[in-house]
Chains A and B, each alone.
Chain A
Amino acid sequence: MRTDPRVSADIAQAAHECLARMSHPDATNEERRAFEIWLAADLRHEEAYDRAITLWAALDTLERGDIDADLLEPRAQPTLW
């Protein structure tokens, strides 16, 4: 099944924003309620949210060697830090 890629992108964006927001200790109860409503509104929201959680955890395992060299910053000079 193909889904509308625009909608997928919007939902993915929303899911990642929700995750960032909900993971923040300062998130308000109002925001949490808004999030719960958003999550329950559409099964795709929940799927996207699960996916965002999973991906975010997976991205933490990335290391320099995983990234194409030309995309990386030049190594920071140790003396600068």
Chain B
Amino acid sequence: MIAESPFPQFDGEETTHGRTAGTGGVITGHHAARMKMDDRSVLPGRERDPDTSFDEATPASVSTPTSGPKRYSSDELEALFRQLAPVITAGLRRAFGNGPPDPEDVTQLAFQKLLERAHHADIRSIHAFVWRTARNLVLKAKRAHRVRSKYDFEVEQIFFPLKGNDQPAERVIIAREQLRSVNAALRAMPETRRRAFLLHKIERLSIADVARRLSIGKTTAHKHIVRAARDIDLRLATQENDAD
């Protein structure tokens, strides 16, 4: 069946982390495919806790990100660009061919949009942002041929309007509805799944700590969290469909 994951549900495999890469690592391959999940979002006003990584606590010996809200220096942004640009460009090429518009130009432009922002989130969010922006730029250029996907919303438009104070009222209302969907999805899911997800995303526990707290295996804890994200995804999709 085509919808199945190409992986055997990552069963029987302990999700141990050997290392983590900072922003200096070389990333190749499909967009996001090799992004490290270690770096948590750093939003203004939010403390960063390097121990609450997606998977496993980051070994202390490896350079851990600094605390507090982050604004990347121009050097770091350049490193980010070198790291992410080939991935984004390759993704654009795969999705839309060689253009026009030229995939490399689009990637440049998408990074330009990133620079225009007042602050930066973590590398994972940046990747999503740049990819999303690049994709939207291509779609815009191809508007004559393509219809914007209903899923084609930007990461910034989910929940974010509630975090800022200069958002149009309409965006805030939509974000509130999204949060209601998130809560509805959480309410509907089995208790262990909900607890695992909340411990990870809200209490910022690492997968290992979530597993310990719930007295379950790490792989199981991981699965619960992935399923919870899936549930929320589907609930939000339903909301979007209803809004159509």
- Which A residues lie at the B interface, using CB under 8 A? 2, 5, 7-14, 16-27, 31-32, 34-42, 46-48, 50-64, 66-68, 71-73, 76
- For the complex formed, measure the closest distance between the CB of B96 and the CB atoms of chain A, giving whole angstroms: 11
B141 at the interface (CB under 8 A from A): no
Main secondary structure of the interface of B (DSSP, over half): loop
Question: How many angstroms from the CA of A34 to the CA of B234 in the assembled complex?
Answer: 24
B203 touches A73 (CB 8 A): yes
B198 touches A18 (CB 8 A): no
B1 touches A71 (CB 8 A): no
Number of A-B contacts (CB under 8 A): 176
Residues on A with C-beta less than 8 A from B154 are: 54
A67 touches B203 (CB 8 A): no
Query: Nearest CB to that of A41 among chain B residues?
Result: B2
Supposing A60-B201, A66-B182, A71-B194 touch, asked if A10 and B4 sit within 8 A by C-beta, the answer is yes
User: CB-defined interface of B159-197 with A at 8 Å, one 1/0 digit per residue?
Assistant: 110110000000000000001001100110000001100
A52 touches B233 (CB 8 A): yes
Interface size class of B (residues with CB under 8 A): 35 or more
Main secondary structure of the interface of A (DSSP, over half): helix
- For the complex formed, measure the closest distance between the CB of A60 and the CB atoms of chain B, giving whole angstroms: 4
A16 touches B230 (CB 8 A): yes
A7 touches B3 (CB 8 A): yes
Binds A, one of B27-35, B63-71, B100-108, B110-118: B27-35
Supposing A20-B10, A35-B6, A66-B159 touch, asked if A73 and B227 sit within 8 A by C-beta, the answer is no
- For the complex formed, measure the closest distance between the CB of B128 and the CB atoms of chain A, giving whole angstroms: 4
User: CB-defined interface of B1-31 with A at 8 Å, one 1/0 digit per residue?
Assistant: 1111111011000011111110000000111
A23 touches B30 (CB 8 A): no
Residues on A with C-beta less than 8 A from B153 are: 54
B187 touches A71 (CB 8 A): yes
B183 touches A67 (CB 8 A): yes
Question: How many angstroms from the CA of A64 to the CA of B216 in the assembled complex?
Answer: 24
A22 touches B34 (CB 8 A): yes
